[in-house]
């Protein structure tokens, strides 16, 4: 498709002059205009999305051609024009202008322009980054706490968690897991976990080292569960119930694997179980179910 783009910023300006120039340019290229896109009485300072030009840019594809009177018809701001031309270059569309003889296509001029795009974009990114860092530094020096509290949304609270606060408290008293409650109130489990800590309903999660310290005094209870031939999941269920804990299966797995006596016992018992299940055939692997 070959498009003729015409823009006049006031109603008094004549669109026919631009249109005739576009037609002559198309003829010189051996092309004919398939469709005209006209923005009447619209300033070039407006973003393309606020003009008919925006709709044109969305539908152009590789091989399409846009012919306009001059680059200033596309926009009055340098970076705006560069963004428009960059978009056309990315989709593989060509742009020709009548007055300044500009051509965006597969040529050295377009390659130079592509370099200018990347350089301008990098400069702009660096300037934004520097301004952001300076603003944050000023706020920090002024004693302002940056970011938002853990477990809170930008408006200062978590609506779903706050709305279901009583339900959350009741379910936690019934020892319902955080994951299950999160599914019930339709939030992510990490959001709910952060909310429980930030709202003071629960203490922060124990670190892996703290979890090991919790289990160490109860080594004999874990050992007894192993001797009964329980797998990791069954050990977690029994020990959590006996010890009134909420540790995960991976916590018990780590605790056992880091203690030679317990790990060897677990491996030997479950190897025997698997051999028996396989009709006496030896399994050449160390299993940890």
Q: pLDDT tens across 106-151, in order?
A: 677 776 765 676 566 567 667 777 888 888 888 777 777 666 554 4
The number of beta carbons lying within 10 Å of the beta carbon of residue 96 is 20
How far apart are alpha carbons 90 and 211 in whole angstroms?
Answer: 54
CB 52 within 8 A of CB 21: no
- Class of the domain covering 2-106: alpha beta
How far apart are alpha carbons 188 and 206 in whole angstroms?
Answer: 20
How far apart are alpha carbons 57 and 37 in whole angstroms?
Answer: 11
pLDDT band at 289 (very low <50, low <70, confident <90, very high): very low
How far apart are alpha carbons 123 and 120 in whole angstroms?
Answer: 5
CB 40 within 8 A of CB 11: yes
Instruction: Tell me the two tokens of residue 85.
Output: 């031309």
Closest CA to 149 of 88, 212, 90, 195: 195
| 157-207 confidence digits (pLDDT tens) | 578 888 899 999 999 889 888 889 999 998 888 888 888 877 778 766 655
Residue position matching structure tokens 């299966």: 249
What is the pLDDT, as a whole number, of residue 210? 59
Instruction: Tell me the two tokens of residue 145.
Output: 């706490």
Distance, CA of 235 to chain centre: 38
How far apart are alpha carbons 230 and 238 in whole angstroms?
Answer: 9
Is 50 exceeded by the pLDDT of residue 285? no
CB 9 within 8 A of CB 18: no
What is the pLDDT, as a whole number, of residue 36? 92
Each domain of the chain, given as residue ranges in start order, spans 2-106, 148-205, 206-289
Is 90 exceeded by the pLDDT of residue 225? yes
The number of beta carbons lying within 10 Å of the beta carbon of residue 73 is 22
The DSSP string of 132-174 is HHHHHHHHHHTTPPPS--TT--TTSS-HHHHHTHHHHHHHHHT
The number of beta carbons lying within 10 Å of the beta carbon of residue 9 is 17
Q: Give the pLDDT mean for 51-56.
A: 91
Closest CA to 18 of 32, 37, 44, 31: 37
CB 158 within 8 A of CB 195: yes
Q: Which residues pair with 8 in a beta bridge?
A: 40
Q: Where are the alpha helices (DSSP H) in 208-258?
A: 208-215, 219-227, 232-243, 249-257
Closest CA to 288 of 71, 262, 279, 143: 262
Is 80 exceeded by the pLDDT of residue 24? yes
pLDDT band at 154 (very low <50, low <70, confident <90, very high): very low
pLDDT band at 226 (very low <50, low <70, confident <90, very high): very high
How far apart are alpha carbons 175 and 181 in whole angstroms?
Answer: 10
Residue position matching structure tokens 């409650």: 181
């Amino acid at each position: 498709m070959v498009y003729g783009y015409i823009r006049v910023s006031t109603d008094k300006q004549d669109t026919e002059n631009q249109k005739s120039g576009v037609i002559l340019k198309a003829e010189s290229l051996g092309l004919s205009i398939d469709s005209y896109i006209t923005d009447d009485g619209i300033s070039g300072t407006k973003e393309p999305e606020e003009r008919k030009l925006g709709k044109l840019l969305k539908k152009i594809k590789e091989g399409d051609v846009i012919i306009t009177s001059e680059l200033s018809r596309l926009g009055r701001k340098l970076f705006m024009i560069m963004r428009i031309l960059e978009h056309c270059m990315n989709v593989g569309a060509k742009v020709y202008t009548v007055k300044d003889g500009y051509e965006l296509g597969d040529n050295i001029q377009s390659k130079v322009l592509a370099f200018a795009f990347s350089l301008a974009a990098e400069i702009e990114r660096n300037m934004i980054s520097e301004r952001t860092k300076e603003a944050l530094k000023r706020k920090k020096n002024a004693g302002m706490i940056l970011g938002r509290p853990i477990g809170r949304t930008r408006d200062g609270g978590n609506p779903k968690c706050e709305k279901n606060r009583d339900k959350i408290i009741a379910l936690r008293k019934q020892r319902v897991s955080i994951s299950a409650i999160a599914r019930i109130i339709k939030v992510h489990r990490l959001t709910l976990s952060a909310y429980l800590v930030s709202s003071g309903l629960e203490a922060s999660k124990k670190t892996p080292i703290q979890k090991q310290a919790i289990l160490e005094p109860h080594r004999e209870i874990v050992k007894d569960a192993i001797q009964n031939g329980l797998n990791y999941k069954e050990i977690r269920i029994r020990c959590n119930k006996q010890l009134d804990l909420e540790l995960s299966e991976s916590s018990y797995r780590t605790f056992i694997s880091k203690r030679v006596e317990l790990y060897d016992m677990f491996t030997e018992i479950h190897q025997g179980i698997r051999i028996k299940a396989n009709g006496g055939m030896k399994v050449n692997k160390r299993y940890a179910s």
